[in-house]
Amino acid sequence: MSEHIYETDFIVEFGDCDPAGIVFYVNYFKWIDSTFNRWLRDNGLGQDLVAARWNAVGIGVIEAKASFLAPMRPGDNLVMSITGIDWLDKTLRINYHGSSSEKPVVKGFEVRGLFKANSDNILGLIPMDEVRNMLSHENHYDR
């Protein structure tokens, strides 16, 4: 009955944990980013293809936030889900939820946009309508 848009999982490695013996929180953002990029690739749209197709730098992150709900330890399994996507004018907000053994451990979001460099190599946002169309085709979610 999950209505998650995407789901993938990770193993908490020994090296992901800090002297407190629990996950060093920065790694949750690595897993959040990896979830986004796995979803992108599973939709046939890796960052390299995004860059090539729109002559862009990629779908970069403008803002990211996470709340840590319970500690995780080496060997734990993390199930990360994309629970919702809000398409704004030139940005995209992706909501994430992570659980381990059915228990919530992290939730957060990223705001992303399609970045392109101008002639001065300054990055700016360009419209994402085509990206949105490619990521919204029902037939991509045949899982």
Give the residues lining the site for a second copy (CB under 8 A).
11, 13-15, 17-22, 24-26, 29-30, 33-34, 37-38, 41, 46-48, 51, 57-58, 60-68, 70-71, 73-75, 115, 123
Check residue 70 and give left, alpha or beta (phi > 0: left; psi -120 to 50: alpha).
beta
Task: Tell me whether residue 8 or residue 83 sits nearer to a second copy (CB atom).
Answer: 8
Q: How far is the CB of 137 from a second copy (least distance, A)?
A: 19
Measured CA to CA, the distance from residue 37 to residue 45 in angstroms comes to 9
Task: Tell me whether residue 123 or residue 137 sits nearer to a second copy (CB atom).
Answer: 123
Q: How far is the CB of 75 from a second copy (least distance, A)?
A: 5
Q: How far is the CB of 129 from a second copy (least distance, A)?
A: 21
Dihedral (CA of 39, 40, 41, 42) sign: positive
Task: Tell me whether residue 19 or residue 89 sits nearer to a second copy (CB atom).
Answer: 19
Residue type, 113: G
Query: Which stretches of 2-76 are assigned E, i.e. beta strand?
Result: 6-11, 58-68
**Among 36, 35, 43, which Cα is nearest to 139's?**
43
Task: Tell me whether residue 66 or residue 92 sits nearer to a second copy (CB atom).
Answer: 66
Task: Tell me whether residue 19 or residue 142 sits nearer to a second copy (CB atom).
Answer: 19
Q: How many residues make up the chain in this entry?
A: 143
Q: Helix, strand, or coil here: 76?
A: coil
Q: How far is the CB of 30 from a second copy (least distance, A)?
A: 5
Q: Helix, strand, or coil here: 2?
A: coil
Q: How far is the CB of 93 from a second copy (least distance, A)?
A: 13
